[in-house]
Amino acid sequence: MAVSPDAFGQKPLARSREWLLPPEAIQLTPGKYFLTVLWDGDGMVEEEALPDFGYMSAQDIRFTVNAVTNDVQRAIHEHRLAFRAYAAGDYLSAWQHSQAALEVADARSLLLAEGAQMMSANAALKLGNYRGALATLQDTDQGDRNELGRFASGLREVLAPEISLNPASARTSAPRVMVVAFPRQKYEVQYSENLITWTTLDQRLTETNQYEVTDSGNTARLPRFYRAVWLP
């Protein structure tokens, strides 16, 4: 509850807000409830300004707990749990709840779906799961035409590897290709003699951010083009 004492001539104005409580914080069955408010001032009120019993009170806050009855409500509930988990730094739970929201039958027809997808992608990135992030975005990826598309395009650009020929290979019988990329990602090095047809030279799940591939089939050092691609 936020209080603004100067909003109405020094009279407090109560503003409603939503608390992100963990699921285990309170287990209420559907029904009507009220919350009793007592405040001891806690350093913000002079003790002599408090009532004799030492607490300030307010009118009971009445609220209703409703059972989840449809897919829209289920999606909203899972999305809120995802938001709360992300704020708490529990990115795995945030990803799981976001995925649960997206799995609800009608969730993708809601504006909520975009928020759930963005939350899921962000949580996946925090976990280093780049494939999971892009997989979440791919269904609505529309290039740069919306926020999700720009997110996906930017992520692909970040994951794109850099490639160069090792100068030392000029003195050997086979070219050696240096690749700079993200660790724990899948990349493929390819070669071509005409920039039209590409053949796989190497494919691996990287352990570090740099590795080398030798084109042992090109001992004659025929002119070839090389490229590296990230595999989702």
pLDDT for 26-68, tens place per residue? Answer: 677 888 888 777 666 665 556 666 666 666 666 677 878 878 8
Q: Are residues 27 and 56 in the same domain?
A: yes
Q: Are residues 166 and 191 in the same domain?
A: yes
Q: Are residues 56 and 75 in the same domain?
A: no
How far apart, in whole angstroms, are the C-alpha atoms of residue 70 and residue 60?
A: 30
Q: Are residues 15 and 93 in the same domain?
A: no
Residues linked to residue 227 through DSSP beta bridges, in sequence order: 190
| Alpha helices by DSSP H, 39-192 | 71-87, 91-103, 112-126, 130-137, 147-159
Q: Are residues 91 and 154 in the same domain?
A: yes
- pLDDT tens-digit map of 173-224: 788 999 998 888 889 999 999 999 999 999 999 888 899 999 998 888 888 9
Q: Which of 43, 65, 87 is the last residue of a domain?
A: 65
Q: Are residues 97 and 152 in the same domain?
A: yes
Q: Are residues 130 and 154 in the same domain?
A: yes
The domain total for the chain is 3
* Owning domain of residue 41: 2-65
The distance in angstroms from the start CA to the end CA of the chain is 45
Which residues, 6+ apart, have CB-to-CB distance to 55 below 8 Å? 38, 39, 40
pTM of the predicted protein model: 0.55
Q: Are residues 24 and 102 in the same domain?
A: no
- pLDDT tens-digit map of 132-173: 777 777 655 444 445 666 767 777 777 788 888 888 776 667
Q: Are residues 144 and 172 in the same domain?
A: no
